[in-house]
């Protein structure tokens, strides 16, 4: 028997990140000294207080099904965190997911249909393209590499790309892979374009705690963006909890 796969699988390719990570692991196993820049893995263990809290929860029997969108106490803590970022959400607007990647996937599936235009800022995390294509979207790109990976010098190109045909714009600041933190002026221009063309924006802020000498602004905190921004975040990078698979969208 030959298994028939859905056509959507033809739209995506295997993860380049995992391919490089696997190659690095093979080289290390052969004794090669490798500097692995593939996977966004913090170089410190999960903090002990987090580990102890996890153990206590297990010992207390918190191992049954939870509400599908997250336990109330965690959602309340997320609301408090987002409030500190200038974002006004209620617990009803928070969905906890098994990792930030799942939060992104669910958002793409909810917002992108066949033929919808999705605008990416290159270089972009490789999974954005795969998720957009899985949802049936068409990709348009704005290249930041010739502008020191910053968005502000590329705003003219962004303005020429985003239009009334654009369904979704993905903004990742701090950026993976470049690490660039976009300026407030750049984000304000994103806001203007989103409002003018009625575009929804994903603001992927998973690296918001990994900045050096510069402050990151949450896009949804800008006037006019609260109702048209989906904020993606999680615990993997800030708290070195990659294997815990815990993220959220708001």
Domain region containing 210:
69-249
pLDDT tier, 162 (very low <50, low <70, confident <90, very high otherwise):
very high
Decide if 143 is inside a domain: yes
pLDDT tier, 14 (very low <50, low <70, confident <90, very high otherwise):
confident
Q: Is 135 helix (H, G, I), strand (E, B) or coil?
A: coil
The pTM for the full model equals 0.93
Decide if 44 is inside a domain: no
Residue 23 makes CB contacts below 8 A (sequence gap 6+) with none
Decide if 18 is inside a domain: no
Which tokens belong to 115? 């033929």
Q: What is the mean pLDDT of residues 76-95?
A: 98
Q: Left, alpha or beta for 135 (phi > 0: left; psi -120 to 50: alpha)?
A: alpha
- pLDDT of residue 9 exceeding 90: no
Decide if 2 is inside a domain: no
Q: What is the mean pLDDT of residues 131-148?
A: 97
Beta bridge partners of 166: 117
Q: What is the pLDDT of residue 2?
A: 87
- Percent helix, strand and coil across the chain, each to the nearest 5: 40, 15, 45
Count how many domains the chain has. Answer: 1
Q: What is the pLDDT of residue 11?
A: 83
Decide if 33 is inside a domain: no
Strands 247-249 and 229-234: antiparallel
Decide if 151 is inside a domain: yes
Decide if 140 is inside a domain: yes
- pLDDT of residue 250 exceeding 90: yes
| Per-residue pLDDT tens over the stretch 174-220 | 999 999 999 999 999 999 999 999 999 999 999 999 999 999 999 99
pLDDT tier, 7 (very low <50, low <70, confident <90, very high otherwise):
confident
Q: What is the pLDDT of residue 230?
A: 99
Q: What is the pLDDT of residue 94?
A: 99
Query: Which is nearest to 119 in space by CA: 82, 154, 69?
Result: 154
CA distance 17 to 174: 18
Q: What is the mean pLDDT of residues 51-78?
A: 98
Q: What is the pLDDT of residue 8?
A: 84
Q: What is the mean pLDDT of residues 84-98?
A: 98
Q: What is the mean pLDDT of the chain?
A: 96
pLDDT tier, 18 (very low <50, low <70, confident <90, very high otherwise):
confident
Decide if 45 is inside a domain: no
CATH code, domain with 123? 3.40.640.10
């Amino acid at each position: 028997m030959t298994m028939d796969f859905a056509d959507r699988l033809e739209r995506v390719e295997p993860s380049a990140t995992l391919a490089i990570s696997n190659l690095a692991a093979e080289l290390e196993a052969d004794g090669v000294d490798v500097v692995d820049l593939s996977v966004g893995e913090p170089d410190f263990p999960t903090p002990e207080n987090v580990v102890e809290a996890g153990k206590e929860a297990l010992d207390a029997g918190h191992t049954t099904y939870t509400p599908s969108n997250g336990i109330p106490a965690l959602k309340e803590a997320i609301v408090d965190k987002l409030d500190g970022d200038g974002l006004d959400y209620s617990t009803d607007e928070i969905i906890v997911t098994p990792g930030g990647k799942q939060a992104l996937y669910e958002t793409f599936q909810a917002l992108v249909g066949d033929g919808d235009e999705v605008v990416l800022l290159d270089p972009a995390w490789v999974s954005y393209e795969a998720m957009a294509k899985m949802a049936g979207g068409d990709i348009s790109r704005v290249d930041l590499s010739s502008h020191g990976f910053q968005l502000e010098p590329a705003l003219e190109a962004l303005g020429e790309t985003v239009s009334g045909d654009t369904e979704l714009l993905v903004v990742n600041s701090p950026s993976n892979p470049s690490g660039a933190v976009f300026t407030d002026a750049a984000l304000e221009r994103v806001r203007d374009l989103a409002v003018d063309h009625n575009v929804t924006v994903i603001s992927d802020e998973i690296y918001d705690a990994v900045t050096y000498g510069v402050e990151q602004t949450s896009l949804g905190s800008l006037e006019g963006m609260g109702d048209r921004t989906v904020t993606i975040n999680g615990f993997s990078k800030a708290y070195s909890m990659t294997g815990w698979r815990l993220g959220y969208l708001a």
